[in-house]
């Protein structure tokens, strides 16, 4: 391991020397709107960019994930996957034109995840610049249908169709530099919908208020006793409803997520919340629906897994302080398939999910060097045990 670990800091300047190519990829791909379920155009541009970089194979899988393959030198070694989700939370009519100054690149969706996708598309050029070859094939995949209701369909489909072993994987995210995800909580993302009849008959003269009912749902969720071990929590993330200030709200929705490192605990909490919703629906005599938007099973690599240890060493070699936290992203699907994987952040940023999201340009080169280091670690066999 030491043989390449020492070299990693020297990659930073070499990567920076092709900054125009990296920034161009981020801009040209990131300026294509790609809200979830509408990523086709961005997928096409991504494929065009990796094809122009002359990867050995370039294709779309049956699910329309764009994929490039760089052949390795040893046929007996399984491939290494490097992935980034193509979709963003930004609607297609927003102005997607990026602006760039000396230190910052700004544009909607850049942190989540245009910077990750642009760097992914630049890897073939970066390998050439660093004169790197690998034993394993390197599979570069842009993933569609990842966020929210898409429930990570892109990576699920890619891995279910990939019948041969995968050596290891890296998931790329725009931010934050220093993040090291190697475990994911079991999560269930849900929505409670409350609808009240708008009939005006005598029996409806004391109409309940959808917002107050949802407020009651929240209060009752907050009374749930959640254990310290296994760790568990319910995040109330979204609420919407009503028409105007002086009118009783007849509709409302509440979005929340159950998270735990135990799938069993997620199920148990979900059952409790189902009871709360059913009870209130009966109590107020209103129509309430509890829908599951997406779910992920809990999965983890141990902290002493060689991939995690190597990644920590690489980050420290680059002066980065690893920050371990759970991730609900593509990582969990790799881990559920028993494929060792980590998620890494490319750079630091600001206004994460806003129209004026921006990334810091200079730290990005260190972020990319860390990715190269982890690819080399996997290629040297840290996931082979």
Partner 1 sequence: MNNTWLEKNTFHYSDFSDLKLLVEQKEKKNLTISLCLPTLNEEKTIAKEIIIMKSELMTRCPLLDEIVVVDSGSTDQTREIAGEYGADVYKASDILPDLENFRGKGENLWKALYITKGDIIVYLDADIKNIHHRFAYALIGPLLLSDDIKYSKAFYDRPIAIEKNKMRATGGGRVTELVIRPLFSLYFPELTQILQPLSGEYAGYREIFETIPFPIGYGIETSMILDIYEKWGLDVIAQVDLEKRVHRNQDTKALGRMAFVILKTFLNRIEKLGLIQKKKEMFNEMIQFKLEKNRYMPDIRQLEEHERPPIIGVPEYCKKFSSKPQTHPEHTPFTSEKTE
Using only C-alpha atoms, the chain has a radius of gyration, in whole angstroms, of: 23
Q: Identify which of residues 58 and 296 has a Cβ nearer to partner 1 in the complex.
A: 58
Helix 8-16 and helix 362-379, axial crossing angle in degrees, nearest 10: 130
Q: Identify which of residues 124 and 168 has a Cβ nearer to partner 1 in the complex.
A: 124
Residue 351 interacting with partner 1 (CB under 8 A): no
Q: Identify which of residues 21 and 146 has a Cβ nearer to partner 1 in the complex.
A: 21
Q: Identify which of residues 16 and 220 has a Cβ nearer to partner 1 in the complex.
A: 16
Minimum distance between the CB of residue 53 and partner 1, rounded to whole angstroms? 8
Q: Identify which of residues 14 and 293 has a Cβ nearer to partner 1 in the complex.
A: 14
Out of 15, 27, 169, 296, the residue judged to bind partner 1 by CB under 8 A = 27
Using CB under 8 A as the criterion, what x/- string covers residues 48-77 for binding partner 1?
----x-------------------------
Which two structure tokens, joined as six digits, stand for 162?
Answer: 């990939």
Out of 93, 199, 203, 385, the residue judged to bind partner 1 by CB under 8 A = 93
Residue 236 interacting with partner 1 (CB under 8 A): no
Task: Give the binding-site size for partner 1 (rule: CB under 8 A).
Answer: 21
Using CB under 8 A as the criterion, what x/- string covers residues 1-20 for binding partner 1?
-----------------xxx
Q: Which residues contact 89 (CB under 8 A, 6 or more apart)?
A: 35, 36, 109, 112, 147, 148, 353
Using CB under 8 A as the criterion, what x/- string covers residues 108-147 for binding partner 1?
x---------------------------------------
Dihedral of alpha carbons 54, 144, 325, 321, sign? positive
Q: Which residues contact 322 (CB under 8 A, 6 or more apart)?
A: 178, 180, 311, 312, 315, 316
Using CB under 8 A as the criterion, what x/- string covers residues 283-312 for binding partner 1?
------------------------------
Out of 3, 101, 201, 225, the residue judged to bind partner 1 by CB under 8 A = 101
Question: Residue 30 belongs to what H/E stretch?
Answer: helix 19-30
Residue 355 interacting with partner 1 (CB under 8 A): yes
Task: Give the C-alpha distances (Å, rounded to integers) separating 329 from 85, 177, 178.
Answer: 9, 16, 17
Q: Identify which of residues 20 and 62 has a Cβ nearer to partner 1 in the complex.
A: 20
Q: Which residues contact 196 (CB under 8 A, 6 or more apart)?
A: 207, 208, 209, 210, 248, 249, 250, 251, 286, 287
Task: Give the C-alpha distances (Å, rounded to integers) separating 186 from 31, 64, 271, 336.
Answer: 33, 27, 15, 11
Minimum distance between the CB of residue 31 and partner 1, rounded to whole angstroms? 7
Alpha helices in 223-305 (DSSP H): 263-284
Task: Give the C-alpha distances (Å, rounded to integers) separating 131 from 20, 124, 248, 278.
Answer: 18, 10, 66, 62
Residues engaged in binding partner 1 (CB under 8 A): 18-21, 23-24, 27-28, 31, 52, 93-95, 97-102, 108, 355
């Amino acid at each position: 391991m030491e043989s390449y670990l020492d070299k990693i800091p020297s990659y930073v300047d070499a990567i920076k020397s092709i900054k125009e190519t990296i920034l161009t990829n981020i801009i040209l791909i990131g300026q294509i709107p790609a809200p979830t379920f509408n990523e086709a155009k961005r997928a096409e541009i991504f494929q065009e960019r990796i094809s122009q970089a002359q990867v050995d194979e370039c294709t779309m899988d049956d699910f329309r994930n764009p994929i490039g393959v760089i052949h390795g030198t040893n046929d007996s070694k399984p491939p290494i996957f490097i992935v980034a989700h193509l979709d963003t939370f930004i609607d297609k009519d927003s102005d997607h034109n990026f602006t760039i100054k000396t230190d910052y690149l700004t544009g909607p969706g850049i942190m989540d995840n245009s910077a990750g996708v642009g760097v992914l598309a630049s890897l073939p050029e970066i390998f050439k610049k660093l004169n790197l070859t690998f034993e394993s094939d390197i599979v570069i995949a842009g993933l569609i249908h990842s966020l929210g209701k898409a429930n990570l369909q892109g990576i699920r489909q890619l891995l279910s169709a990939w019948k041969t072993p995968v050596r290891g994987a890296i998931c790329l995210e725009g931010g934050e530099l220093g993040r090291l995800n190697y475990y994911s909580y079991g999560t269930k993302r849900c929505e409670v919908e409350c609808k009240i009849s708008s009939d005006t008959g005598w029996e409806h003269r004391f109409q309940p208020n959808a917002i107050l009912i949802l407020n009651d749902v929240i209060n009752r969720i907050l009374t749930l006793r959640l254990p310290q071990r296994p760790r568990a929590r319910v995040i109330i993330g979204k609420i919407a409803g009503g028409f105007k200030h002086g009118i009783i709200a007849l509709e409302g929705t509440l979005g929340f997520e159950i998270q735990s490192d135990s799938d069993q605990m997620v199920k148990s909490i979900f059952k409790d919340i189902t009871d709360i919703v059913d009870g209130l629906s009966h109590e107020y005599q209103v129509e309430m629906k509890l829908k599951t938007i997406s779910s992920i099973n809990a999965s983890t690599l141990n902290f002493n897994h060689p991939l995690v240890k190597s990644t920590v060493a690489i980050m420290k070699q680059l002066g980065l302080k690893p920050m371990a936290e759970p991730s609900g992203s593509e990582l969990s699907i790799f881990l559920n398939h028993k494929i060792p994987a980590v998620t890494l952040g490319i750079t630091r940023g600001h206004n994460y999910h806003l129209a004026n999201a921006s990334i810091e340009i200079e730290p990005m080169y260190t972020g990319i060097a860390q990715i190269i280091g982890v690819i080399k670690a996997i290629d040297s066999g840290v996931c082979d045990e």
